[in-house]
Every structure is written in structure tokens, then in C-alpha cells.
Amino acid sequence: MKKYGFGVDIGGTTCKIGLFDMSGKMLEKWEIPTNTSDAGASILDDVACAILTKIKEKAISLDDVQGVGLGVPGPVGKDGMVYKCVNLGWDVFNVEDTLSRKTGLYVKAGNDANVATLGEMWQGGAKGYQNVVMITLGTGVGGGIIIDGKIVSGSHGAGGEIGHIEMNEHESAMCGCGNKGCLEQYASATGIVLMAKEKLNNEMWDTQLRQHSNINAKNIFDAAKTHDQVAIELVDEFTTILSRAMAHIAVVVDPEIFVIGGGVSKAGDILLEGLKRKYQERAFHACKETSIVLAQLGNDAGMYGCVRLLF
């Protein structure tokens, strides 16, 4: 193992880049804009320039760099093929080979949610575990699965897309994936807001949530913490649906631990305790003692996991 590694987490707005030593310590991190113009043609050029500039600035020999780990917001095959990243404008191509040619370094790529899970397993909330499921609760629901220390990406790079487990066959609204009734239509920041608006529009509830002209998930969880009955019911519905999905996942992959991340996870104990209680009610008997914890690395998880890909 060499001295240094770079972790690059490519997002639709920015690319987060970290310089690490290979023991897992982050030495420095910074961001560059993600230029999605011209179908994202310059993104990897910009990443390569940022890495090579940092190597020169720090007077690091290329011989001391293990490589570059890359997190990509889309399906990635084991051979480094990206199968379209809509929000970057990318079509199908080998991202590992392309960035390797531009940097002269070894490159290993993975789906962004999968590498975030790997980061939490390596240095975060799931440190010390080898069988991990991470669920990221943000605008949508992302996920990553690790079995025996290895990412389960599947044959099409779609392993861990748990946000698209069907939870309601009677749903009429369409999910962004094209199906209906997906988990992320309910158990996400977007989902709980939609549930709240429907509840407030259809019934004359007395609730502090009406004070907000543009309600968000934080408003709902904060109101629940102050014993607002409508907010409590919304959080209860949210945790009921999510815990049911977790019970489905557990009976398939039987993880040691679930890690809950993403912006909604900042709600803290009110989310975690509800999930634990409802998961216990639903889980198959052999899976009832699966740990459920909050993620620890925040937005840095992807960079950590990218470096862990280089092992």
C-alpha cells in the first residue's frame, strides 16, 4: 500500500475531493464546480487538473499515490463502465480508463451511494462491521449494500437502489424512475412534505405546520419534537413505511447493521427511535436484533469510501 490516495465524489453541482493517507485519515478536502455543459465533457478534465495541481502543490511523487477513487451518481459496472448519469449528462463510457489516462494514476469507480456506505463501514457509523446496509434519506432515498466487506453492485450496477422498492401498489403518482409507489415517494424529505400537504389540504387540523408557507421536512420533525399531533402522525407514517422496507431488505441480505444518513437523518433520535421500535415489530425473528445507527461522516462519507475502493 502506498502513502496517499484521492477520493472524488462527483455531484451534480460540485465535485468533492479529498487527499487521504491510506490509513484513513483525511489530510485535506476541497471542492470544484461540476461543469455539466456539453454533456459533462469537461468534468473529468477538471477533476484530473485539480488532482495533479494538488500533487504538485504538495510535492507528492506519483509513485507515492495509490490511486483515485471515484464516486459517480449513476450505475457503475465492475469494469468501470458508467451506464448513463442523467444529472451529469454522461452516456455510456469507461470512467476508470478515461480518468486514468488523464492523470497517469490507477482509478477505481463506484456508485456514489455505494461508496458512501463503504466510507461509513471504513471510518464511520458502521466501523468494525462487514455486513452493512446504508439508507440515505434526502430528496430521494439512496442506498448501499455491503456483504462480507464487499459492495453489492449487482449485474447492472443497480444493487442498493432501495428507494425504488414498491411500497404501495395503489399509488397513482409517478416516481422519477417511471414506476409508482416507490419507497422514496414516502420516506424522503420530498415524500414527507407531500404527505403533510395532502393531510393539511384534506383535513382541518390544528397544527403549527400551517405557520410555514413553504413547509420542509425539518419543520415537520421539529414540530413533532414539540408534541404537535399532526407532525407526530406524519413522522409515525414515515417511520412505519421505512421500517417495513428495512424489514424486507433484512430478510434478503441479513445485515449486521443499518446506517441511516442523508439530510433527514439530522432529525436524530425522534427518527432513530421510531425506526428501531417499528423495525422490531416487523422484522423476521432472526433479524430483529439488527443494529440501527445514524451515519457519522456526513457529506464526507463518499470521499472516504472512494479511497477505500483502492484497497
Q: How confident is the model at residue 156 (pLDDT cuts 50, 70, 90)?
A: confident
Examine the domain organization and report whether 133 and 262 are in the same domain.
yes
Examine the domain organization and report whether 88 and 34 are in the same domain.
yes
Distance of CA 272 to the CA centre of its chain: 17
C-alpha cell at 184: 422514496
Whole-structure pTM value? 0.88
Residue-wise pLDDT for 65-117, tens only, equals 999 999 998 888 889 999 888 789 999 999 999 999 999 999 999 988 899 99
pLDDT at 84: 83
Domain count, the chain: 2
Domain region containing 240:
127-295
Rounded to whole angstroms, the Cα distance separating 296 from 68 reads: 23
Mean pLDDT of 156-173: 90
Q: H/E/C letters for each residue in 223-287? A: HHHCCCHHHHHHHHHHHHHHHHHHHHHHHHHCCCEEEEECHHHHHCHHHHHHHHHHHHHHCCHHH
Examine the domain organization and report whether 283 and 175 are in the same domain.
yes
Question: Is the pLDDT score of 10 beyond 90?
Answer: yes
pLDDT at 66: 98
Mean pLDDT of 4-9: 98
Examine the domain organization and report whether 38 and 138 are in the same domain.
no
Beta strand segments in the chain, E: 4-10, 14-21, 26-33, 65-72, 81-85, 90-94, 107-111, 132-137, 141-147, 150-151, 257-261, 291-294
Examine the domain organization and report whether 104 and 62 are in the same domain.
yes
Rounded to whole angstroms, the Cα distance separating 186 from 189 reads: 8
Examine the domain organization and report whether 89 and 149 are in the same domain.
no
pLDDT mean across residues, the chain = 94
Q: Residue 222's domain is classified under what CATH number?
A: 3.30.420.40
pLDDT at 83: 84
Mean pLDDT of 269-281: 97
Examine the domain organization and report whether 272 and 135 are in the same domain.
yes
